[in-house]
Structure 1
Amino acid sequence: MSPTNPSLSPERVRADVAELLGCDPAEIGSDDDLVDLGLDSVRMMTLVERWRAQGATTLEFPDLAERPELGHWTALLTGSAA
């Protein structure tokens, strides 16, 4: 089952990731490796829990860890490109 959730916008996904990285959302490229930018597994779990609370109830940690790229996460969560 896909974690796609219409209540999560691409802008919200980008802003949530940027908040945990401590940077401006515009600084994150769609294909950037978020682990290389400093996002660790604890922060990924924070995002999983946050996005589950916003309705992405089928989202699991491996969904994010498998491809830690903003574009992939945005497509996974919203069905649209970053």
Structure 2
Amino acid sequence: MTRLTMNQLRAQIVEMLEEPVTIGEDDNLIDVGLDSMRAMNLAMRWEEAGVPLDFTDLAEAPTLRELWTMLDARQP
């Protein structure tokens, strides 16, 4: 797996939302439309790519910056 960048992470989240939105690093992902089902799908995608991240982790990292920090630290 190629290491994911913050911009790729942002693009994956926007793609999951299925509507064009701009996500700032400190925006709450729930506020921009990332509901629990979409968050679980993203967590499964990252888990399959070798990044141990689950739904609980997403709940603990509600902003793009917090999620990126967590995800980046866990990438192989």
What TM bracket, shorter-length normalisation? 0.7 to 0.9
Cα offset, 1:67, TM superposition:
2.5
Q: Match of 2:6? A: 10
The residue aligned with 1:75 is 69
Residues 39 and 58, structure 2, Cα contact 8 Å, conserved in 1 = yes
The offset of 1:11, in angstroms, is 1.8
How many correspondences in the alignment? 72
- Does 1 or 2 have the higher relative contact order (CA < 8 Å, sep 6+)? 1
Matched, 1:46 2:49: no
Q: Residue type of the partner of 2:15?
A: E
Q: Of residues 24, 27, 33 in structure 2, which corresponds to 1:29?
A: 24
Question: What percentage of residue pairs aligned between the two structures are identical?
Answer: 42
Q: Is the 8 A contact 1:20 1:43 kept in 2?
A: yes
Q: Give distance in 1, aligned partners of 2:59 and 2:29.
A: 10
Give, as a single letter, the amino acid of the residue that structure 2 aligns with 1:49.
M
**TM-score for the superposition, normalised by structure 1:** 0.77
Amino acid at match of 1:23: P
Deviation, structure 1 residue 69: 0.7
TM-score by length of 2: 0.82
